[in-house]
Structure 1
Amino acid sequence: MPFVNIKVPQAALSTAQKAEIIHRMTDLLVEYLSEAARPHTMVLIEEVPDGGYGRADEVFVIPEAYRATS
């Protein structure tokens, strides 16, 4: 069973954007593995709360301008 785990900042993606990522990632894996993989493909999008991750020793908080509107 193909499994994809994507972590994004909380509120960075809309529900529609998440659905599109799930569909496109599934299609990508089917392209490589065959159509038989489609019913067994799992795509998990995890939202990480602000302040729950960092880079280069800095805690990250998503700017308001980058938050999804729905």
Structure 2
Amino acid sequence: MPFVNYKFPEGILDAERKEEIIHRTTAMFVEYFGEDVRPFTMVLIDEVADGGWGRADETLTLAKMGLPAKQH
């Protein structure tokens, strides 16, 4: 079963963008492995709280990445 797990900063994707990511990821697996994988393809999108992840020994935030803060 093809499986992919995306992690994005919380609040930067709306429902429409998440759906697009799921469709495009599924289409990619179908392109590589054939139509038979479509019903078994799983796409998981996790949203990580701002400051809850890092790279190269640095905690990343939306502000550090030049992105607007999540709207409440």
Shorter-chain TM range is 0.7 to 0.9
Normalized against structure 2, the TM-score is what?
0.83
What is the aligned-residue identity percentage? 53
- Higher relative contact order (Cα pairs below 8 Å, separated by 6+ residues): 1
Where in structure 1 do 4 or more consecutive aligned residues deviate above 2 Å? 63-67
Report deviation, 1:66: 6.5
- The whole-number CA distance in structure 2 between the counterparts of 1:41 and 1:66 is 32
Aligned to 2:9: 9
Q: Which amino acid aligns with 1:22?
A: I
CA 66–24 in structure 1, closer or farther in 2 if over 3 Å, else same: farther
CA distance in structure 2 between the partners assigned to 1:10 and 1:40 by the alignment:
27
Larger relative helix fraction:
1
Residue in 2 that maps onto 1:19: 19
Q: How far apart are residue 49 of structure 1 and its match?
A: 0.7
TM-score (norm 1): 0.86
Q: Which runs of 5+ in 2 are unaligned?
A: none
Aligned residues: 68
Q: Gaps spanning 5+ residues in structure 1: where? A: none
Residue 60 of structure 1, CA deviation = 1.3
Aligned match of 1:65: 68
Structure 2 residue 51 is matched with structure 1 residue 48: no
